[in-house]
Structure 1
Amino acid sequence: MPANMATSMLLLGLIVIICTSVSLTYATSSQPNVIFIMGDDQGYRDIGYHGSLFKTPIMDKLAEEGVKLENYYVQFFCTPTRAQLMTGRYQIRMGLQNGVLDQDQKACLPLDEVTLAEKMQEAGYSTHLIGKWHLGLYREGCLPNNRGFDTFFGFLQGAEYFFSHDTPKGQLDFYRDFEPQWQYNGSYATHLYTDEAIDLINNKDPDKPMFMWLSHQAPHAPLEVPQQYSEPYRDIIEDDNRRTYAGMMACMDEGIGNVTEALKANGIYDNTIIIYTTDNGGPVWNSAYNWPLRAFKGSLFEGGIRGVGFVHSPLLSDKVKGTVSYELIHVSDWLPTLVEGIAGWTTEGTLPLDGINQWETIRDGRSSRRIELLHNIDPLTVLTEGGESWSDSPFDVRIKAAIRLGNWKLLTGDNGEAGWFAPPGVAGLDTEEGDVGDIVRLYNVKRDPEERNNLASKYRILVKCLLRKLARYYEESVEPIYTPHFPEEADPCKNGNNCVWGPWATEE
């Protein structure tokens, strides 16, 4: 090879290496920050743009300037939703089909599951959890800092008092990483979480993207809020609990605004994606409302699982800003969406995913690839009567389950007792009792989102098709991991944990 040609080839090679290096550096430095905000036990109705009497101006504005997700689903309880967020997998794969994990059970998010936080770490992100965990605490391996979070500031169980940060028997449940935090007694939790988020933003490493899960307890019970937030609703909302609930939402809304302003003040807002979601339907017994959807937290009717959700970011394409997306999206989709779509990383190494990368659907308005969604199969909740007309079913219709295919939704194991609950001050047919009847229910949720017209008897062939799908999912499911309760072993005032909830067992 002539010398000049060899020199040219060498220079070309160097240029390729340099360009590749620049490209990789640019790709890393340009990875968007992700602020993933979760409200707890918030009803579908309980946000301004869904018609609530109380106002949520910050969230309304963020949603109005972004993309509202109006065909978006979570789970019926806290733990299953958080598990699906963290793993991108249906809860039937993890044994979390039945409910929440209690602090005195020897169970947590299975340790072989690769979490969203771990994948974001791999992608080069700093990872932070602020607020509620609720994925198990019985041993150290279950704790957030051992599941992919660089920092943790919050609590481990399902709920605590907002000011004292303890549980009804006086045991503390408030941590910074692995260290109990006694000094915050008297400080309101929503304020603390907001301040922590702002502090992390103010001190962010400029060379590293950030993934923050801002996991609020509000407006979950106990209903507590500084009076300054509930007082403006004294002449609007008569019920004391509902007024307190409104104040809790107002405080969280204010905090989300302050976090957004911190992003702007630090010059990173333009490269940040803000995602907001609820974790399950609202409990009407704690002054939350899902009107006009049917039922409440714990149910597989729409009021228990259709979530409030929106995405806000300057990185969204102009054609989707200010729009509503009716594409089918599920909480399990966030892991591949964040890891592959936003971080530009790979989901290799996880267990097989049920979630789908929805970033192009959200960012550009493209059609979702999701046409099917398993809401749940709970083998521990089984009706003893009903379903005789489906005796030839491939799936035991007495089991509480629900599945979605296109616009069609099938429920089994629910005789329809749950009805519709209108919030105070809203005119409508508030019918606390539903259409009690057959335990197999089919709805076209696009035409009938309130689930008032059961079409199972009219479309029996479609029902059979969906029952076969449920049967296949049931064969793939694992046994529920909910264990017996061990109150004496777990009691932190009796097991040497100095009245602080935390790991209490070493064995599996």
Structure 2
Amino acid sequence: MKVDKQQKGKYSASLFASRAQKLIDSHNNSKPLFMYVPFQSVHAPLEVPAKYVDQYAHIKDKNRRTYAGMVTCMDEAIGNITDSLKQKGIWDNTILIFSTDNGGQILRGGSNYPLRGWKGSLWEGGVHGVGFVHSPFLKNKGTVSKELIHVTDWYPTIVGLAGGKIPTNLSIPLDGHDVWATISMNKSSPRKELLHNIDPLTHPSGEPRVNSTFDTRKRAALRSGRWKIITGDPGNGSWIPVPKATTSGIETNSISPYMDTEMVPEDAYTTYGDPKKNLWLFDIENDPNEHHDLSDDRPDIVDALLKRLAAYDASAVPCRYPKDDPKANPELHGGAWVPWE
């Protein structure tokens, strides 16, 4: 891999968009076009050219102000890409998918309120992604779907849209489903279950549940229909409100005394409850913000979902977490993180 050092000092969102625009401009319209544009926005470190931050001078919190500028820069970059698609005459034959990969990082300007938790946690604030699809091919436009959709569903969905077919005789079936009817016509999702995570590397939490088919000390989360089960260490479970917007600027919410500081300390928030607890059950349809743990009230649901976690765990590929390799040091590769083997 060669690093283009001539681009040093240029903001990645603008750089990525510029490259995408060049590819669009040189594209032969008689052939199909697929583009995956994974912006680094919005992610730490919080940096963006000053012109994007200056328009948010009314936001007192430094992280939140910079974050807003980064979102604006990304929005401009996406707008530039869509402008190129229009100028090329293929916008009306395009499906645009915009999707996040996880919840916001509260300590770096993000917000998931009123959802519980943040990036890295198994609460909805960490795993409940948002997104939208824009296309003239949508049957029902302007709708909002709360159906289950997982990142693995994009592959079979996009293959289907491109006219391809997924073989039905695969030795191991795909994890994903074609969810275009769900997106386009607001139909029920073919996905009824969603494995959020099974993490055998995180330190076990609490004591195992008696007579359980799955070790509840292990960090894991599963959604099945309306029900969501969490085991092990779920990560920070706070509900963190954003600073209040007022006509005179931003007013710090009383529950967040650190909102005006450059960095919120990790211990500013609490996970709430017994630190030895390692099992939760929520009815997400009726309690999307995870206030009411029903694990004691519905042991039947708990047992059923623990069996599903055990099944996933038994079929999982073993983790590979190699030790640090000094040969990966960027100083050995021109100051950049690149493949080294």
TM-score (norm 2): 0.89
1:378 partnered with 2:199: yes
**d(CA) in 2 for partners of 1:264 and 1:474?**
47
Q: What is the Cα deviation at residue 501 of structure 1?
A: 3.2
Matches within 5 A, 1:203-352: 203-235=26-58, 237-317=59-139, 320-339=140-159, 341-348=160-167, 352=173
Q: For residue 373 of structure 1, give the secondary structure of its aligned residue in structure 2.
A: strand
Distance 1:197 1:414, change over 3 A: same
**Residue 5 of structure 2 aligns with which residue?**
182
Match of 1:460 in 2: 299
Q: Any idea what SS the aligned residue of 2:273 has? A: coil
1:432 to 2:252 alignment: no
Q: For residues 179 and 207 of structure 1, do their structure 2 counterparts lie closer, same or farther at Cα, with a shift above 3 Å needed? A: farther
Structure 2 CA distance for aligned equivalents of residues 457 and 241 of structure 1: 40
Distance 1:503 1:312 in 2: 35
Q: What's the Cα RMSD here?
A: 1.9
The answer as to 2:204 corresponding to 1:354 is no
1:482 aligned counterpart, secondary structure: coil
| Post-superposition offset of 1:434 | 3.7
Q: Report the CA distance shift for 1:359/1:233 in structure 2 as closer, same or farther (over 3 A).
A: same
Q: Which has the higher strand share?
A: 1
Q: Give the alignment of 1:403-422 within 5 angstroms.
A: 403-414=222-233, 418-422=237-241
> 1:205 and 1:479 mapped to 2: Cα distance?
44
Specify whether residues 251 and 421 from structure 1 end up closer, same or farther in structure 2 by C-alpha distance, changes over 3 A only: same
Per-residue CA deviation, residues 350-376 of structure 1 (Å, 9 max, x unaligned), is 953111010121122221111111111
Distance 1:194 1:261 in 2: 11
Deviation at 1:443, TM superposition (A): 0.3
Q: Cα distance 1:452–1:324, how it changes in 2: closer, same or farther (>3 A)?
A: same
Q: Is the 8 A contact 1:375 1:402 kept in 2?
A: yes
Identity of aligned residues (%): 45
Displacement after TM superposition at 1:218 (Å): 0.9
Question: Which ranges of structure 2 fall in alignment gaps of 5 or more residues?
Answer: 246-252, 257-267
What secondary structure, in the 3-state scheme, does the structure 1 residue paired with 2:244 have? coil
2:329 aligned partner: 491
TM-superposition CA deviations, 1:281-339 (whole Å, max 9, x none): 1111111111111111111110111111110001111xx20111121111110011011
* TM-score normalised by L of structure 1: 0.60
**1:250 alignment partner, SS class:** helix
- The Cα of 1:264 is off from its aligned counterpart by 1.1
Aligned match of 1:392 = 211
Q: Quick one: distance in 1 between partners of 2:87 and 2:31?
A: 18
C-alpha contact (below 8 Å) 1:422/1:428 kept by paired residues: no
Provide structure 1 residue ranges, at least 5 long, that are not aligned to the other structure: 1-177
Cα shift at 1:433: 2.3
Greater RCO structure (CA 8 Å; 6+ sep) = 1
What is the SS of the residue equivalent to 1:276? strand
The one-character-per-residue Cα deviations of 1:143-199 (angstroms, maximum 9, x if unpaired) are: xxxxxxxxxxxxxxxxxxxxxxxxxxxxxxxxxxx4320101121111111111111
Cα-to-partner distance string for 1:374-399 (whole Å, 9 max, x where unaligned): 11111111434245xx2111100000
Deviations, residues 416-457 of structure 1 (Å, cap 9, x unaligned):
752111111266966932432331100011111110100000
Provide the rounded CA distance (Å) in 1 between the counterparts of 2:290 and 2:235: 10
Cα distance in 2, alignment partners of residues 428 and 361 from structure 1: 41
Give every structure 1 segment of 4 or more consecutive aligned residues whose post-TM-superposition deviation is greater than 4 Å: 426-431
Change (3 A) 1:408 1:265: same
